[in-house]
Amino acid sequence: MKIKVSVPATSANIGSGFDALGLAVTLYNTVTFEDSEVLDISSADGTRIPRGESNLVYRSAKGLFEKVGKQIPPLKITQTNPIPMARGLGSSSACIIAGLLGANRMLGDVLNTQELLTLATSIEGHPDNVAPALLGGLTSSVFEEGKVYSVKRNVDETLCFAAIVPDYKLLTEAARAALPKEVSHKDAVYNLSRAALVPAAFCEGRHDLLAIATEDKLHQPYRMPLMPGSKEVFDMARLCGAKAVYVSGAGSTVMAVAEKAEAEKFYSKLEKGLELLEGLDGCEAFTLLRLDADNTGATVE
């Protein structure tokens, strides 16, 4: 037996859609599962990962086996992890989805997509990353009383994305701790009205709505002080032609959205601009990832 799972990176929140919206992009973690006499977990690309039972891919796979009343066998698990960790691009969700899909295939696909999504969300705690990782595209999701309600839409393929990844991590726990326990009714309405525009902006060609649809008052103003250089990156991306700029997930990555017709000019300007920002305010370097939307989601071979 050899099973290979590929899972896309994800960009959650999309500005206004805190803990509800997310989209998949063309950067992939891959995991292979093979029969083994003992548990053997390794990294094919040198990324440091847990090599015992605390490994998130393994824990997720084991959880599915336990859910259906089976004992997980010894496995050889090999991971390739280009999705940067603790940067707001869904690395943990990719591990969860990979573990669940690998286990599900071993068991003869005993769980359907809805059941997999519910189990993934129960592990992750919220669906905004696991839903697009599994389904692809742009997802709108709610997790309530142990059930996930999720709608997928394909992202407009004339859009391109620039993930601007700083050299520092921002753990989700720290990013969540920065948020206020209560927000004003005015701020809630502000976000709700803009989140309602996101599907039209990203999926229906209404690029004129991208900037306003991604505005936010619920999380970005509180998280950006934890992200050195992020304000300057926002400003730089807009000067380079970005139609929208937002904090990806909990950060520290900033995601910029542009039209593919202007992609080469956009990326070139952005690379030069980021060079000027390196060393600014506690960030020594930025990595620019050129991405498209992924409308397929995770795959199993």
User: Would you list the DSSP string of 84-114?
Assistant: PTTSSS-HHHHHHHHHHHHHHHHTTS-S-HH
What is the predicted pLDDT for the residue at 202? 98
Band (pLDDT 50/70/90 cuts) for residue 95 is very high
What is the predicted pLDDT for the residue at 230? 92
Letter string b/e over residues 90-123, b meaning 16 or more CB atoms within 10 A of that residue's CB:
bbbbbbbbbbbbbbbbbbeebbeeeebbbbbbbb
Average pLDDT, the chain: 95
Percentage of the chain exceeding pLDDT 70: 99
What is the predicted pLDDT for the residue at 301? 95
Closest CA to 141 of 156, 158, 124: 124
Q: What is the DSSP letter of 292?
A: -
Mean pLDDT of 191-209: 98
Mean pLDDT of 10-36: 97
Which amino acid is located at 191 in the chain?
N
Cα separation, 237 vs 254, in Å, equals: 9
What is the predicted pLDDT for the residue at 283? 72
Annotated binding site: 84-94
Band (pLDDT 50/70/90 cuts) for residue 26 is very high
Find all residues with CB under 8 Å of 175, minimum gap 6, and list them. 219, 223, 226, 250, 251
Band (pLDDT 50/70/90 cuts) for residue 221 is very high
pTM, entire model? 0.95
Rg (CA), the chain: 19
pLDDT over threshold 90, residue 279: no
pLDDT over threshold 90, residue 1: no
pLDDT over threshold 80, residue 284: no
Mean pLDDT of 212-223: 97
Within its chain, how far is the Cα of 112 from the centroid? 22
Cα separation, 99 vs 104, in Å, equals: 8
Annotated binding site for ATP: 84-94
> Do residues 140 and 20 make contact, with C-beta atoms less than 8 angstroms apart?
yes
Per-residue pLDDT tens digits for 140-190: 999 988 889 999 999 999 999 999 999 888 888 888 999 999 999 999 999
Find all residues with CB under 8 Å of 60, minimum gap 6, and list them. 95, 96, 97, 98, 99, 100, 103, 120, 123
Mean pLDDT of 66-78: 97
Torsion angle, alpha carbons of 86, 88, 92, 95, to 10: -120
Residue 15, SS3 per DSSP: coil
What is the predicted pLDDT for the residue at 171? 85
